[in-house]
Structure 1
Amino acid sequence: MKITNKINLITTAWIICVLIVVNIAVFYSFLKVTVNVEEKVVLQNADAILEDINNGDSNEVIKGKLTKYLTNGSFIRIIEPGSKIMNQVTHNQQISSKIKGEFVTKTKSKRYLVRTAQGEEQMLVVRIPIESNGQVIKTLEIGERLVGLELGKDVLLSILIACTILGALLSLIGGKWLANILIRPVSNMIDTMEEIEQSGITKHMVIEGQPKDELQKMAVTFNRMMDRLDNNIEKQQQFISDASHELKTPITVIKSYADFLRRHGIQNKEVALDAVDVIHSEATRIQLMTEKFLDLANTELENVLEKTTIDLIAFNKDIVKQIQRAYKREIDLHYSDESLTVIADELKLKQVMIILLDNAIKYSKEKIDIYLENQENATVIRVKDYGIGIPESEINNIFERFYRIDKARSRETGGTGLGLAIAKQIMKQHEGEIKVKSVENVGTEVELFLPN
């Protein structure tokens, strides 16, 4: 079932239930109000009767006085203790015979439904105690036909039923209109998705005016998702293009030198060794690039970190010792606190530090400084070099895959343009952040923020 039909049926069912409850309340309120009005009239007649009759009056005199107050179909009784009828006057013996007299000590009223040969009659019976010397000696019982009640009840019931049916029809029509308005953005989104599925081309939803409700906000979110998807597709295409271009060069070189060796053999040993060295160098570059591809893929796919508590000072001392031994470069470690610890994946954090130090070594010749600081909400590692720096216009691009400021120089230094992309992804997994500050021809400072 369509969601519009569900909304329509649910709203209609709810409105019908509300109308039924309201109709029942109106119906019984009408009955109560009508009976109360009649009861007041009967009580007024009862007061007049009680003032008119006297204790010393004979039965005939009392009957005569009671007869004056009779209306069509009503009855008036004087009842003694034991519910014995002492006096009774009536215009409809059939009705009065169906209602038994009752002796009461307190004023009471009750509605009766009497079935006669002519049909059903609604009767209101009011019983008022008659007192003498502070004691109840008799009961005045007056039965009055509720002439308009039965007819009014039937008319009201017909009107309420008609209004309920009309309300249900209006609810169906209005519910369908309302459901169409509410679901229109969803329908538009479905149509847009189907077009995207068929054409394979992303498309945005048309939004009229500013988003005012959740459905319009959902459409805006859908458009943002499409923008992000376009951006990811563009990045993927760029990644494939860059990866193909990066692999094409060493493969071309390897193929060229291999063809050279096939044509000329190894008669000239010196030339052959040069060709083998070039082939080995380019193959090594392909291997390094492939390893970087795998590192990047694993970093993006593996969100599970093996976190442990790391002594940051000892951790960085070990890395500095390894780098100094390998590259013979001056690296100074600075810290003011005697103890600095973080909770992180040690192998991944070490990978980030090696990426940053490797870049600093490649693009600077001076010493490299590492600063360890403990801030309020994060522990900060800063790696600072004094090399060629990065142009201000390029800083926002350096975390893109394969992005290299000076491609020629990067090839000389063996860079692939993937290191910072991997470092950023690892910091994201740690819910941390990586920032770069740089001044061209002055140096570069990279900051790692690890949450405490």
Structure 2
Amino acid sequence: MRITTKINLLTTAWMLCIMILINMVVYFLFMKSTVNMEEDLQYQKAGDIIKDIQSLSPSNSNINRELKDYLTAHSYIRILQPQNKVTHEATNDSLLSKKIKGKYVETKQAQTHLLSLKNGEEEVLIVRVPINSGTSVNESLEIGEQLIGLETRKEILRAILGFSTILAALLSLLGGRWLANIIMRPISSMIKTMEEIEKSGVPKTITIQNKTKDELQTLAKTFNRMIHRLQESMEKQKQFVSDASHELKTPLTVIKSYANFLRRHGLQDKQMADEAIEAIHSEATRIQKMTETFLDIANLEKENVLEINKLDLVSLCKGIFKQLKDAYHREITLHYEKYPIVIHADELKIKQVIIILLDNAMKYSKDKIDVFIEKNEQYAIVQVRDYGIGIPSDEINNIFERFYRVDKARSRETGGSGLGLHIAKSIVKLHKGEIKISSKEGSGTKVELFLPLH
């Protein structure tokens, strides 16, 4: 079943339930108010009758004559004594008076009966009122009156309510269809766009015609943002393949050139042969490292590669510095006030980030390198400062992009691929942290890692 049909049927069913409930309330209130009005009139009439008969002599003829004066169409009036004994009665509808038995009461009562009379079923109102004689009650007055036209009015009311319900259901069907079409318009557009994307393989956005600022517009905007991100991801993927191909092209060309040289000249010229073999080995090693870096990037994009454990940053940095000092003989100074500074992170990944930052600092600086470790209420902060060539201000926003290198002329000399900072930022992002770089050309660079404590 289509969603529009479901919306239409549900809104109509809900409308019918509401109308039925309202009709019941209206019908009940109509009957209640009508009967209450008649009861008030009958109680008033009973009070007048009691006053009149109490002022008369107790002869039957006088009382019966007085009762007849208060009769209305299809009614009766009785005076009863205890044990339901009728002492006086006046009626103009013998059938009505026969069907209803008299009842002696000591308190006011009012009730209705539905009786089958000459003109069909009719509602009859009966009012009973005690007659006080001094401090005692010896008699009661009973008035029965046919509520002429009440059944007709009830039928008319039921017809009106039924017609209103049917009309409301029809209007609800039409309104529900119109509403469903409005609701489904952007969804239908989205489905159509998805089908076009499925057929063509080209991401497309939804055209938002009416800015209604509702959930449907939010849905369409979210879909468009998703498509934009998908397009950006595809563009980055294409760019990555293009950049990777470009990066691999140079070492492969060198390897091929020296391989052709060896194939043509063999090993006769030992010096040239050694040079060729060394170049081939060097470029093959470079390709191997680059391939490993590509694999690191691919694994990071899975976003499920972290092994979270407790990690002391101070101890980790001490171990890294010892290895780098022994390998590169560079001065690296660690500064910290508190020990230990513990976070929950993947030790190998955080170690990789710090090595990348130190490696960049050593490549582009000949002076000492300072590393500061501190923490606040939310983050552990690692700062790596060098005092080298720095980064131009217009380049800082680009340095986290893949294959981007500030000093492109030195890329061969330093051996950089332009992927280190991209990997570092991806790792920090996986840890829900942040990496910031500030630099001044000619004065050095400061890199700050913000890693959540928890």
Q: Verify same fold: TM over 0.5.
A: yes
Equivalent positions of 1:300-379 (< 5 A) are 300-379=301-380
What residue identity is the alignment partner of 1:36? N
Aligned to 1:19: 19
Query: Comparing 416-425 with 203-212, which one deviates more in the overlay?
Result: 203-212
1:161 shift after superposition: 0.3
Q: Does 1:147 align with 2:140?
A: no
Aligned to 1:8: 8
Aligned to 1:253: 254
| Structure 1 Cα separation of the partners of residues 35 and 211 of structure 2 | 58
Query: Comparing 162-171 with 303-312, which one deviates more in the overlay?
Result: 303-312
Aligned to 1:80: 81
Contact 1:70 1:91 in 2 (8 A): yes
1:58 shift after superposition: 2.1
| Structure 2 Cα separation of the partners of residues 118 and 344 of structure 1 | 92
Equivalent positions of 1:383-394 (< 5 A) are 383-394=384-395
Aligned to 1:408: 409
Aligned to 1:40: 40
Contact 2:122 2:150 in 1 (8 A): no
Aligned to 1:223: 224
Deviations 1:119-139 (A, max 9, x none): 111110101111212111111
Equivalent positions of 1:402-441 (< 5 A) are 402-441=403-442
Q: Does 1:89 align with 2:90?
A: yes
Contact 1:211 1:220 in 2 (8 A): no
Matched position secondary structure for 1:147: coil
Matched position secondary structure for 2:370: strand
Query: Comparing 338-347 with 109-118, which one deviates more in the overlay?
Result: 338-347
Query: Comparing 179-188 with 72-81, which one deviates more in the overlay?
Result: 179-188
Query: Comparing 372-381 with 118-127, which one deviates more in the overlay?
Result: 372-381
What residue identity is the alignment partner of 2:24? I
User: How high is the sequence identity, in percent, across the aligned residues?
Assistant: 58
1:405 shift after superposition: 2.1
Deviations 1:88-134 (A, max 9, x none): 22222112211111111011111110013431111101011112121
Query: Comparing 136-145 with 41-50, which one deviates more in the overlay?
Result: 41-50
| Structure 1 Cα separation of the partners of residues 212 and 258 of structure 2 | 63
Cα distance change on mapping 1:219 and 1:4 into 2, 3 Å: same
| Structure 1 Cα separation of the partners of residues 90 and 282 of structure 2 | 130
Deviations 1:260-287 (A, max 9, x none): 2222222222222211111111110110
Aligned to 1:212: 213
Q: What is the aligned residue count? A: 452
| Structure 1 Cα separation of the partners of residues 317 and 370 of structure 2 | 12
Deviations 1:320-357 (A, max 9, x none): 11101111112122223354333322211111111111
What residue identity is the alignment partner of 2:104? F
Contact 1:130 1:137 in 2 (8 A): yes
Matched position secondary structure for 1:71: coil
Cα distance change on mapping 1:149 and 1:208 into 2, 3 Å: same
Alignment gaps of 5+ in structure 1: none
Aligned to 1:156: 157
Aligned to 1:107: 108
| Structure 2 Cα separation of the partners of residues 269 and 62 of structure 1 | 153
| Structure 2 Cα separation of the partners of residues 177 and 103 of structure 1 | 64
- What's the RMSD between the two structures over aligned residues? 1.7
1:302 shift after superposition: 4.6
1:27 shift after superposition: 0.8
| Structure 1 Cα separation of the partners of residues 112 and 404 of structure 2 | 94
Aligned to 1:195: 196
1:210 shift after superposition: 4.8
| Structure 1 Cα separation of the partners of residues 202 and 374 of structure 2 | 49
Equivalent positions of 1:252-271 (< 5 A) are 252-271=253-272
| Structure 2 Cα separation of the partners of residues 341 and 105 of structure 1 | 90
What residue identity is the alignment partner of 1:47? G
1:56 shift after superposition: 4.1
1:202 shift after superposition: 2.1
Query: Comparing 34-43 with 52-61, which one deviates more in the overlay?
Result: 52-61
Query: Comparing 59-68 with 104-113, which one deviates more in the overlay?
Result: 59-68
What residue identity is the alignment partner of 1:382? Q
Cα distance change on mapping 1:211 and 1:367 into 2, 3 Å: farther
Alignment gaps of 5+ in structure 2: none
Matched position secondary structure for 2:149: helix
What residue identity is the alignment partner of 2:26? V
The TM-score normalised by the length of structure 1 is 0.95
| Structure 1 Cα separation of the partners of residues 200 and 115 of structure 2 | 78
Matched position secondary structure for 2:126: strand
1:427 shift after superposition: 0.8
Contact 1:211 1:217 in 2 (8 A): no
Deviations 1:54-73 (A, max 9, x none): 47422233222211111221
| Structure 2 Cα separation of the partners of residues 7 and 209 of structure 1 | 22
| Structure 2 Cα separation of the partners of residues 344 and 32 of structure 1 | 75
Contact 1:390 1:439 in 2 (8 A): yes
Cα distance change on mapping 1:117 and 1:33 into 2, 3 Å: same
| Structure 2 Cα separation of the partners of residues 340 and 155 of structure 1 | 85
Contact 2:114 2:122 in 1 (8 A): yes
Deviations 1:195-252 (A, max 9, x none): 2222222222222465521221222222222221221111111001111111122122
| Structure 1 Cα separation of the partners of residues 64 and 390 of structure 2 | 124
| Structure 2 Cα separation of the partners of residues 311 and 73 of structure 1 | 102
